Amino acid sequence: MEKGFDLGLAVAEANRCLLCHDAPCSKGCPADTDPATFIRKLKFKNIKGAIRTIKNNNTLGASCGALCPSANLCEKECSATGLDKPVRIAKIQRFLIEHSWNIAFNPIEKLCASREKVAVVGAGPAGLSCAAELAKNGYQVTIFEEKPEAGGVLRYGVPEHRLSKDFLAKELEDLNKLGVEFKCGIKIKGSDAAEKLFNEGYKAVFFAPGLWKAVKFKNAAAEGLFSSTDFLSGLRDKKSEELKKYIKDKNVAVIGGGSVAIDCAESALKFGAKDVYIAYRRSYAQMPAEKDELIGALEAGVHILPLNKPADYIIDNGKITGIKLIRTKLGDKDSSGRRSPVEIKDSEWILEANIIIEAIGNEVSEDVPLKENLTTADKNCCKTSIKGVFAGGDIVRGPSLVVNAVKDGKAAAESIKKYLGGKEPA
Amino acid sequence: MTAARDLSVDFCGVKFKNPFMLASSPVSNTGEMVGRAFDAGWAGVAFKTIATGDTKIIHPSPRMHGYNAGDKKLLGLQNVEQVSDRSLKDNLADVTNLKKEWPEHVVMASIMGFSNKEWSDLAKACTDAGADILELNFSCPHMTVEGSGYKVGQANELITRFTETVKKATNIPVVAKMTPNITDMNEPAMFAKKGGADGISAINTIRGISEVGINDWIPRPNVGGKGAISGYSGPAIKPVGLRFIAEMAQNKELGLPLSGIGGIETWVDALEYILVGAATVQVTTGIIHYGYKIVEDMIEGLQDYMADKNIKKVSDLIGKALPNLCDTNKFDLKRQGLAEYDLTRCVGCGQCYTVCQDAGGQALKWNSIDRRPDLDEDKCLSCMICSFVCPVDGMITYREKR
């Protein structure tokens, strides 16, 4: 992972904070993390208090600090931008939580014991934050996770260089401390999924299974063709060494323009790919990835090919050997308000590639239980049409940020507390 | 390009190429160090206090402690430094050599004796070694022996007696270096004058505690588990230094040339000392923080300032602010003003609002939609604290009401 701040750098950055009245940064966080308060606390040497502020608001404070596109969130609102540049809030946040690990300070505690049993399906950011909030309030929470280990997108959706295994393990310690039970490698399925859990004694269920089915550009199967989810999770699971060997010295073409495309391209480079290309049908400025990520990828050696639209895959003997691209130019605005790419006649060309990674989005898998009920859940309170069943995260809102999943997890916990009546334990 | 101005100035009848000197301290400890400082541009040195060497000097370890305020490092510096721990012979050889190699530069030998005889012997020895001026250290802030260091500076009769003794033993100018650890510096300064002093240096460091260890409960610097109240210097004490120099410069009976010391890092700091009456200035903590090279900016900055203001010589600046320094009962209270906001430059942090609410006149309303303050002029106290906390330089200014 990129090196974080040390205490000196964090304090120096906190000293750039203008200590705004009615601080706009604190209004810029979907998960209600409160930068104005934790930065002020750091500045006035109240370091434990600063850690407490983050942890009370966000059980995934370090992960958000490492992964948030903060330039578009809290830092976008920072008043110091009017002077020169925003305070690097996300880096301060990440530092404070890493510092809490170093000094073994954890303010998280169970407020009371032995309320009802609640099931959480999916150990991604939404499920984890819902579980933490409930467990703090005394509920007995079990998380069911299909994959071998907890973390969801934090483990299987981003590469190790953005969020390492050790880092994640430390972040998950809060849940262990709160007594949350993890049941990994268990797939919850079927139209009676909720009913079965109720029968097992769970009084409420929060579904946050995420989106793990990749959108396909072309219905093809060939050696060397990957979806971004298969590629990124493949680098984090047991067979990762095999995949890393496979990548070495290959030419790689990534399709897409978002953060996930960047993650795939940079990972391929890290594991020894010869040349890595990102093909994107719109312009560079239209790429959804954060500016810092794009520049980082360019500097790492990724070749970004904007205004190049994939047309076909070249397959020889069942193996990918190249990708056919068509050059585009920007035409009139489309329904999204962006100028749309228009193909340039006779401009097809072949980019030699042994690996193609499709990073053009994820959608709901067919085997998600209660699909209709989950995808139509209320985006604010996470209630579904089934009593006692709640849903949040990407399954409800579509592909989105970790911090939005955290927000949903917290909102679901509130709804579940209300639903269960918040009765004092017997 | 502005033409380089002549910065030379007279102090006690000795010509300095510019007003900038090293103070007697670790930065002027050896001839080798001082030589490099002269090459960097410093016009003179108060050579690290020379004693007879009869008592072996062992420095405490560690001997200093820094005081940081927010992101400002070394806002202050505390030390338990003693007089020179080198042999008298080595120090005298350095003085001689410095005058031989750098004849245009001024060597003021700082001395400290523990008896009349020691003061006399040291004065003779340093004069014979070639020093231009003697500076009598009446002000080391952490001496424990009665009749030495700042305890001399607090005992007026001793000041006169030791100054007289030195004057008898030498024919070069004698400057008394005063302690600020008193109420009124004019009193001991007059006793120095009575003893024949030709000039005054001030201030030595202020007795203080720069930090207390909150885990070990040991005041700093932590010398083997103990701390001591001792000399505190640096930018934090500049206002105190300016005050003592101004008070002595206003004293017509005293009428001695002054060398200003305390918290000087830039030409602006130096100029402020000159404007309240100093002819030369001395620097230690600034050099401990940044090295000898800061003198380059002091020289260039002062030259440009003098060119801009068309001032021919440094002596024309000495004491120029004194006519405007008065007691508070001389203020014209009919003249009132208010804070004026240039909101086109506002970045919307609202710190002005916070401090006006909690420490000012509650004269601001906060427009949370536009994130801008809105001043009720009738309520403004013109305390100007809003301008002190505003991050935009010059956005909030004082305007006199007409």
Listed by start position, the domains of chain B span: 9-324, 332-400
d(CA A159, CA A165): 10
Q: What is the dihedral of CA A74, A76, A78, A82, to 10 degrees?
A: 180
Q: What is the mean pLDDT of residues A355-379?
A: 92
- Work out whether strand A251-255 and strand A275-279 pair parallel, antiparallel, or are unpaired: parallel
The per-residue pLDDT for range B258-268, each reduced to its tens digit, is 999 999 999 99
Q: Which two tokens stand for residue B205?
A: 């460091």
| Burial profile A359-381: b = 16 or more Cβ within 10 angstroms, e = fewer | bbbbebeeebbbeebbeebeeee
A311 lies within 8 A of chain B by CB: no
Q: Which two tokens stand for residue A416?
A: 């579940």
A103 lies within 8 A of chain B by CB: no
With an 8 Å Cβ cutoff, are A21 and B391 in contact? no
Closest approach of A79 to chain B, Cα-based (Å): 6
d(CA B248, CA B178): 11
CA distances from B245 to B9, B28, B117, B154 (A): 17, 23, 31, 17
Residue B221 backbone zone (phi > 0: left; psi -120 to 50: alpha; other: beta): beta
Compute the half-sphere exposure of residue A29: CA atoms within 13 Å on the CB side of its CA.
27
Q: Which of B151-165, B227-241, B319-333 is least confident?
A: B151-165
pLDDT at position A426: 47
Per the prediction, chain A carries an average pLDDT of: 94
pLDDT at position A144: 97
Q: Which CATH class is domain A213-361?
A: alpha beta
The type of residue at A275 is: D
User: Residue B231 has what DSSP assignment?
Assistant: E
Q: How far apart are the first and last CA of chain B?
A: 40
Compute the half-sphere exposure of residue B357: CA atoms within 13 Å on the CB side of its CA.
10
Q: Which two tokens stand for residue A64?
A: 């958000």
Helix axes B116-129, B88-101, angle to 10 degrees: 30
d(CA B56, CA B153): 23
d(CA B147, CA B163): 13
- Which residue is closest to B389 within chain A, CA to CA? A18
Position B316 confidence tier, pLDDT thresholds 50, 70, 90 = very high
pLDDT at position A425: 52
Position B153 confidence tier, pLDDT thresholds 50, 70, 90 = confident
Among B70, B349, B392, beta carbon nearest to A20: B349
d(CA A248, CA A215): 26
Per the prediction, chain B carries an average pLDDT of: 95
With an 8 Å Cβ cutoff, are A83 and B392 in contact? yes
d(CA A379, CA A30): 13
The type of residue at B11 is: F
Phi, psi of B352 (to 5 degrees): -60, -45
Of the candidates B189, B205, B206, B325, the one whose C-alpha atom is nearest the C-alpha of residue B257 is B189
Q: What is the mean pLDDT of residues A298-316?
A: 96
- Which residue is closest to B357 within chain A, CA to CA? A21
B70 chain-A contacts, CB cut-off 8 A: 15, 43
3-state secondary structure of B72: strand
B221, B208 contact by CB (below 8 A): no
Tokens 């002054």 belong to residue: B258
Q: Which of A185-189, A225-229, B153-157, B305-309 is least confident?
A: B153-157
Among B12, B126, B140, B380, the one annotated catalytic: B140
Q: What is the mean pLDDT of residues B134-138?
A: 96
CATH number of the domain at B9-324, please?
A: 3.20.20.70
d(CA B263, CA B235): 4
A18 lies within 8 A of chain B by CB: yes
- Which residue is closest to A45 within chain B, CA to CA? B70
What is the helix, strand, coil percentage profile of chain B, to 5? 35, 20, 45
With an 8 Å Cβ cutoff, are B353 and A21 in contact? yes
The per-residue pLDDT for range B362-393, each reduced to its tens digit, is 999 999 999 999 999 999 999 999 999 999 99
3-state secondary structure of B366: strand
A12 chain-B contacts, CB cut-off 8 A: 71
The per-residue pLDDT for range B200-221, each reduced to its tens digit, is 999 999 999 999 999 999 999 9
Closest approach of B248 to chain A, Cα-based (Å): 39
A1 lies within 8 A of chain B by CB: no
Q: Which CATH class is domain B332-400?
A: alpha beta
Compute the half-sphere exposure of residue B293: CA atoms within 13 Å on the CB side of its CA.
3
User: In B251-321, which residue ranges form alpha helices assigned H by DSSP?
Assistant: 267-275, 285-290, 294-308
d(CA A305, CA A283): 9
Q: What is the mean pLDDT of residues A329-341?
A: 92
Q: Which two tokens stand for residue B123?
A: 């004065």
3-state secondary structure of A413: helix
pLDDT at position A423: 61
A 66-95 residues inside an 8 A Cβ radius of B: 79-83
Dihedral sign, Cα of residue B262, residue B266, residue B272, residue B274: positive
Q: What is the mean pLDDT of residues B143-152?
A: 80
User: In B170-208, which residue ranges form alpha helices assigned H by DSSP?
Assistant: 186-194
pLDDT at position A271: 95
List, as one string, the DSSP characters of A77-108.
G-GGGGTSS---HHHHHHHHHHHHHHTT----
Q: Which two tokens stand for residue A426?
A: 């017997």
Q: Where in chain A is the domain with CATH 3.50.50.60?
A: 117-210+364-419, 213-361
User: Residue B12 has what DSSP assignment?
Assistant: T
CB–CB contacts below 8 A, A to B: 43
Q: To the nearest whole percent, how much of chain B has pLDDT over 90? A: 92
pLDDT at position A421: 86
In DSSP terms, A277 is beta-bridged to: A253, A303
- Which residue is closest to A24 within chain B, CA to CA? B349
pLDDT at position B252: 96
- Whether the predicted pLDDT of A90 surpasses 50: yes
**Superfamily of A117-210+364-419 according to CATH:** FAD/NAD(P)-binding domain (3.50.50.60)
- Displacement of CA B164 from its chain's centroid (Å): 26
Closest approach of A16 to chain B, Cα-based (Å): 9
pLDDT at position A350: 97
Q: Please compute Rg for chain B using Cα positions.
A: 24
Closest approach of A10 to chain B, Cα-based (Å): 11
Closest approach of A95 to chain B, Cα-based (Å): 18
Q: To the nearest whole percent, how much of chain B has pLDDT over 70? A: 99
pLDDT at position A111: 77
Helix (H) or strand (E) holding A312: strand A308-316
Position A336 confidence tier, pLDDT thresholds 50, 70, 90 = confident
Q: Where in chain A is the domain with CATH 1.10.1060.10?
A: 7-102
Q: Which CATH class is domain A7-102?
A: mainly alpha
A 357-376 residues inside an 8 A Cβ radius of B: none
Q: Please compute Rg for chain A using Cα positions.
A: 23
- Which residue is closest to B392 within chain A, CA to CA? A83
d(CA B272, CA B246): 10
Among A18, A21, A43, beta carbon nearest to B391: A18
pLDDT at position A221: 87
B346 noted as active-site residue: no
The per-residue pLDDT for range B34-64, each reduced to its tens digit, is 999 999 999 999 999 999 988 889 999 999 9
d(CA A2, CA B85): 49
User: Residue A424 has what DSSP assignment?
Assistant: P
Q: What is the mean pLDDT of residues A57-68?
A: 94
